Every structure is written in C-alpha cells, then in structure tokens.
C-alpha cells in the first residue's frame, strides 16, 4: 500500500501500568520520524476524549518532558473504561475526519482491543482510510497472541519484592500472612510472587490462581502442612480464585461496561481467607491479610528495565507497521526470540479479532499441583522482571556462658 498522509491520534485505555507511558512516548517519537505523519495528537481519556473532541498536540512537547513522562507510571493522557456503540464509532470517525486523522493507536488490554476492533469495523464500513493499531498493555499478562504484555514485568517485580518483604515480616513475627494479588481471570501476576523465594523455606509457601479450583478443605490442609514444616505460612492468592462451580470466593456485584467483575480495591477476599484460617487454627495463631490493590500497577521506582524498553519498542513498532502499509490494522505483539539460551524480544502484528475480548490463562506446564508454579514458569518470567534483591541472613553464632 502507498504511504498515507495525515495526522496520528493516540489514546490510552483501561487500567494503567508502570510503563504505559513508555509506549505513548515510543509512539510519539516514531510518528515524528515519518514524513507521512504530519501531526501527532493525543486524546484525553481515550475514546471519551475523541467523542468530546478533547485533543492535544503531542508533537509540541519538549523531548525532555516526554522522557520524564515515559518514566512516570499511569496514563499521562488519562484513561477510560468505555465500550463504544455503533453511534459512538460513527461520531469518533467524524472527529477524526475533521482533524484528518489517518493513523489511530490505542494502548490497552483486551477490552481496548475490542474497542479498536469495533472502531476499525466502522471505518471499513464507511470506507474511511484509517490505519488503526492496538498497542498492548496489561499487568494481568492475559492477552492472547503476545508472549507477554508491557506492564507485566514491572508489576511482577513489585509483587515479588512486596511478598519478599512480607516473608521477612512473617519470619520476624511468625503466623499466617495472606496477600491478595490482582488477577480476575488469570493468575500470571500472582504466580510471579514465586520469584520472592531466594532460598528454600522462603515464602510464599502457597500460591493460588484462578486456573485451579479453590477448595476450602485443601486450602486449610495446605496451611496446616506449611505451619508444621516452616512454623509459619505466607499465602499469595489471586483476587479471582473460585470454587469448582465457578463461584468467586469473594463475590462482586459491581461490573464495568465490558461485563468484568470489579474485584480490586476491596479487602474482602483477604478477610474471608484470614477469618477461615483463624476459625480453623484458633485465636492464638497470628493471622494477617493485605490486599495489594492498585499499588501493583502504579508504584514509582519499581520498574523492570526490560519491561520499560519493550513497552517503548512495541509502540515504535506499531507506527512502523502502520506507515509501511503492509496491513491497515492490527494488534502489535511481543514474541520470544531466544538465541543461545538468551532471552530476546521480537515484534509482530496479528489481527485485532484474535486479541479482542479474549484472555489467556496460565498454561498447565506453568503450574505445579494445586498451590504452586513450576520451574518452567520461573524460566519464563525471570528475564521479564530482571534482578531482585537478596535477603541477608545472620549466621547467629551462639554466645557461650562466661565462667
């Protein structure tokens, strides 16, 4: 396809991450490098900003400002959770035509991919030549087609370090500690807490993910075994764990426009698990629970360098793919192109409808029984997270009694 001249528009959608602005800045930088793209605009609060025609000129931002923004967590343009109707899509196309937008890049997860797909279908139906690309992000790491998602490595680094700290706390004051981690349908992030184990006996001792049905009897038995073996127990549990009937252990009646249950921001699951442990083992056992909540996706100073690099690169790749004209629309993905046992990322594009609406579970080979992950998962996740702190241990030399 021949070069298409016009303006580019960028939007951010869904839950923010620690590196979503790296993708934003990567898009801006690459757009400015192509003559076919005349101006680079940003939509405030995603498609809501397009509908309200709240657009800003990102091409006027100073490079030093863009770099600082790239290193800042959460969505610099503001985010949104809105599923567009056909009327919404038609209105957005009117705005784009008014501003000669010929390139649209939407950074987000599977719901954002669905939004991009709906808008693309409307553009095709109206015969409007629009290069439309979805740029992946989500700490849940549950997008199909891509090996992993920008945002996941940094969130995984946070939960691994947070649980490592909790394990030290639990070592100091033994008992049972329950940590609830984000993950509505998939346990990728909770699984990453296994990286907290720097040595045998370190927590988390038990890991529960939505891919394995949760059973109370088995859970209490697992806790009992951990207490007997270690004298304490650290538990990492996905917020979306459920029983064999598919019923969430912590029910939620609140849903977003895409029909997703709202589980984060509540300590309900931690309370339920800790109360059952107290009831089973008695009031003398020290039992505590924490819900990591939104800190997992927005914590300053806890970014995986590999994650930041890939988030920027996948945005740059999306622009090159759009300008080349090899395909008019798609979803950018990250591939694993290891060489000689060394991790290497690669970038490609797939059809939007392969990513829209769908989620990706932890595969069976990444799980080890009902409450742990396998070495294969650790091999998968380690290069995405990078180096982690190692706890120091006193030798505890005994002091003999003086004569």
> What number of other Cβ atoms are within 10 A of residue 264's Cβ?
19
**With contact defined as beta carbons under 8 Å apart, do 1 and 56 qualify?**
no
What DSSP character marks residue 202? P
Query: How far is Cα 4 from Cα 325, in angstroms, rounded to an integer?
Result: 8
Query: How far is Cα 287 from Cα 301, in angstroms, rounded to an integer?
Result: 30
Which residues are CB-neighbours of 306 under 8 A, at least 6 positions away?
153, 345, 383, 384, 385, 386
Query: How far is Cα 133 from Cα 137, in angstroms, rounded to an integer?
Result: 13
Query: How far is Cα 255 from Cα 367, in angstroms, rounded to an integer?
Result: 29
What are 189's two structure tokens? Answer: 């992030």
Using DSSP's 3-state secondary structure scheme, residue 38 falls into strand
Query: How far is Cα 90 from Cα 104, in angstroms, rounded to an integer?
Result: 15
Cis, peptide link before residue 308, omega less than 30° from 0 = no
Which residues are CB-neighbours of 62 under 8 A, at least 6 positions away?
none
> What number of other Cβ atoms are within 10 A of residue 149's Cβ?
28
Q: Name the residue with tokens 């979803």.
A: 331
Query: How far is Cα 287 from Cα 193, in angstroms, rounded to an integer?
Result: 19
β-strand 55-57 against 37-43: which pairing, if any?
antiparallel
- Kindly list the catalytic residues: 140
Using DSSP's 3-state secondary structure scheme, residue 35 falls into coil
What are 279's two structure tokens? Answer: 């009831």
Longest dimension (CA), the chain: 96
**Phi and psi for 80 in degrees, rounded to 5?**
-160, 155
What are 11's two structure tokens? Answer: 């939007």
């Amino acid at each position: 396809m021949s070069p298409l001249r016009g303006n580019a528009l960028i939007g951010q959608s869904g839950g923010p991450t620690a590196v979503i602005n790296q993708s934003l800045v990567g898009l801006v930088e690459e757009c400015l490098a192509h003559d076919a793209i005349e101006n680079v605009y940003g939509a405030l609060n995603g498609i809501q900003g397009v509908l309200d025609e709240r657009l800003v000129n990102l091409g006027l931002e100073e490079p030093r400002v863009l770099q600082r923004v790239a290193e800042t967590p959460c969505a610099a343009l503001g985010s949104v959770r809105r599923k567009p109707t056909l009327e919404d899509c038609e209105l957005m196309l009117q705005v784009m035509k008014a501003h000669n937008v010929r390139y649209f890049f939407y950074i987000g997860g599977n719901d954002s991919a669905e939004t991009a797909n709906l808008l693309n279908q409307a553009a095709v139906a109206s015969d409007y030549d629009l290069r439309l690309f979805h740029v992946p992000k989500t700490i849940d790491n549950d997008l199909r087609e891509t090996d992993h998602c920008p945002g996941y490595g940094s969130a995984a680094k946070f939960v691994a370090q947070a649980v490592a700290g909790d394990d030290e706390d639990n070592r100091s004051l033994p008992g049972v500690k329950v940590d609830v981690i984000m993950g509505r349908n998939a346990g990728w992030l909770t699984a990453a807490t296994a990286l907290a184990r720097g040595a045998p006996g370190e927590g988390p001792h038990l890991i529960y993910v939505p891919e394995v049905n949760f059973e109370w009897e088995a859970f209490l038995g697992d806790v009992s075994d951990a207490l007997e073996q270690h004298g304490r127990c650290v538990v990492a549990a996905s917020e979306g764990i459920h029983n064999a009937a598919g019923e969430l252990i912590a029910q939620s009646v609140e849903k977003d426009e895409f029909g997703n249950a709202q589980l984060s921001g509540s300590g309900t699951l931690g309370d339920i698990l800790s109360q059952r442990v107290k009831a089973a083992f008695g009031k003398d056992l020290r039992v505590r629970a924490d819900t990591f909540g939104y800190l997992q996706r927005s914590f300053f100073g806890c970014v995986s360098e590999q994650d930041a690099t890939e988030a920027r690169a996948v945005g740059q790749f999306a622009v090159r793919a759009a300008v080349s004209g090899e395909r008019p629309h798609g979803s950018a993905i990250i591939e694993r192109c290891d060489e000689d046992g060394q991790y290497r990322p690669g970038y490609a594009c797939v059809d939007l409808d392969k990513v829209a609406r769908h989620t990706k579970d932890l595969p069976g080979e990444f799980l080890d029984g009902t409450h742990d992950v396998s070495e294969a998962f650790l091999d998968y996740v380690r290069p995405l997270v990078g180096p982690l702190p190692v706890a120091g241990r006193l030798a505890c030399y005994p002091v003999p009694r003086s004569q």
